[in-house]
Amino acid sequence: MSDVLPSRPSRIVETPLARAAAWLIGPRGLRDQAALRREVEGKVVVITGASYGVGEATAKWFAGAGARVVLAARTMSRLREIADEITAAGGEAHPYRLDLTSAESVSEFAASVRYDLGEVDVLIHNAGKSLRRSIHLSYDRPKDITATSGANYLGPMRLTLALLPGMRARGSGHIVNVSTVGIMFPNAPKWGFYLSSKLAFDWWMRAVGAEARADGVTLTTFYAGLLHTRMSAPSRWMRVLPGQTPQDAAQVLAKAVVNKPRTMTPLYGFPSAVFATLFRIPLEPLVERIFGRLGDTQASLARLTPPAAKQTRVDAHAH
């Protein structure tokens, strides 16, 4: 459910031109860690999907600003490594196992954090499960439903319900939802499980925010564009596009907590949403044709029997 920067990003991504394009597209993050310190020092900050990538970078950035960081993910050994690194650097970090696909795990996690550290001040929903797979490859894979809905929708919903009462009772708190700009695009084939679960939680969280703001709890939705993490790594064509690094994203999340805007999105986010709505009918056939040519990733095809795999075109750009 967490993500990690590929060990060797594409050289195009590393060029000054690509970095400049990513900065221009945005959203741009917080550069002054002192401002973050004034906001979170001594406060309990929960970060899901904290074992790699954006979650790890965010945890270290917030811990460096004096936050009492709660590292949440499924792999405790990895969380302990990160906690040790943060502690060695003078920060405070607490690793807890959390499986968002398990209602019991979410309940135990929330109870443990509140018992050990007190009420949560900041909740960052960073964990997620990405999936790009042709629907016929999911016929016999119920896991595709439970994994995406659990990690992207039901799990974060349950965690919010567990921690929100404490925030509202104290009259303060901030929740950041790391969503995807993909839900602002035209409907994309093969992304149905991922985008529908992301959209569902986005809609639910916005409704919750409309109620919780009256009690002093604020909400920011970060509609992330391309992030160069292990989520996007299987599609090699994504690696050559301008995108943000985990460190870039961590600074965006820091800015979300300091400034508390309702939304943060790349430059093309809201124009894409308007365009996709106005021109839905001509766009859908075009998008269907484009994605029909992309095929499936090697990861998707690896679970097929050899005869079936031969009949399905492999994405030439996947690794």
> Annotated catalytic sites, by residue?
194
Report long-range pairs for 205-209 (Cβ below 8 Å, ≥24 apart). Answer: 205/125, 205/156, 205/160, 205/175, 205/177, 208/160, 208/164, 209/175, 209/262
Amino acid letter for position 75: T
Class of residue 65 by CB neighbours under 10 A (exposed 0-12, middle 13-18, buried 19+): buried
Coil, strand or helix: which one is 92?
A: strand
Sign of the C-alpha dihedral, residues 200, 206, 207, 212?
positive
Instruction: Return d(Cα 3, Cα 25) in angstroms, integer.
Output: 22
Q: d(Cα 54, Cα 22) in Å, to the nearest integer?
A: 16
CA pair distance 302, 290, nearest whole angstrom: 23
Torsional class of 310: left (φ above 0), alpha (ψ -120 to 50), beta (otherwise): alpha
Q: How far apart are the first and last CA of the chain?
A: 20
CA 205 to chain centre: 14
